[in-house]
Structure 1
Amino acid sequence: MQEEVVKILDKIKPGLQADGGDVELVEVTEDGVVKVKLLGACQGCPMSTLTVKNGIERTLKEHVPGVKEVQQV
């Protein structure tokens, strides 16, 4: 599952990078929790929770079977 998550994150990254941010994969747990770290302009942004839940989590759940949640660390 981790390889699939990395492929999808690589597709998400250009949109974040266009706004001066980025995302880094920290961990994929066996129970389907993906832990990510937001970088650059995304780090500390008031919209970061929306980015994680409505952007990254939604996209990963659509494309990677087994992803249950995305957590920002």
Structure 2
Amino acid sequence: MENVQREVEEILEQYVRPGLRQHGGDIRLLEVKNGAAYIKFTGHCSGCPSAKYTMEGLVKEELMKHTDLIQEVKLQEEVSPELYDMAKAILRGKNK
């Protein structure tokens, strides 16, 4: 399983991360399990309304193109700590 994870990381580094980083984002591979890669977007990509499209159109496409070890990509969606902090700051400003 370590070899699969390493191969997926190499594909992400070479084919996916450069495009995400141009927009201030990045991707983290959480785990590979039963042919599925579990990912999380970070930076500006975290919480982006287009994250699902990016996952389908870029991440999944590149992984499926470069390895037959991955059949599915699953996006872990959660609100980033940065977004929580921004929301708190906005709410504090409105409560004054």
Write the mapping of 1:1-73 to structure 2, written as runs, cut at 5 A: 1-11=4-14, 12-29=16-33, 31-73=34-76
Shift of the alpha carbon at 1:52?
0.6
Off by >4 Å, runs of 4+ in structure 1: none
* Aligned residue type for 1:71: K
Greater C-alpha Rg: 2
**Counterpart secondary structure, 2:21:** helix
Which of the pair has the greater relative contact order for Cα pairs under 8 Å at 6+ separation?
1
**Please, what is the CA RMSD of the aligned residues?**
0.8
Q: Where do 5+ consecutive residues of structure 1 fail to align?
A: none
Point out the structure with the larger helix share: 2
* Aligned residue type for 1:3: R
TM-score of the two chains, using structure 1 as the length reference: 0.93
TM-score of the two chains, using structure 2 as the length reference: 0.72
Q: Where do 5+ consecutive residues of structure 2 fail to align?
A: 77-96
Point out the structure with the larger strand share: 1
% identity of equivalent residues: 36
- Alpha-carbon displacement from aligned partner over 1:12-41 (angstroms, at most 9, x marks no partner): 111101101000010000x21000010011
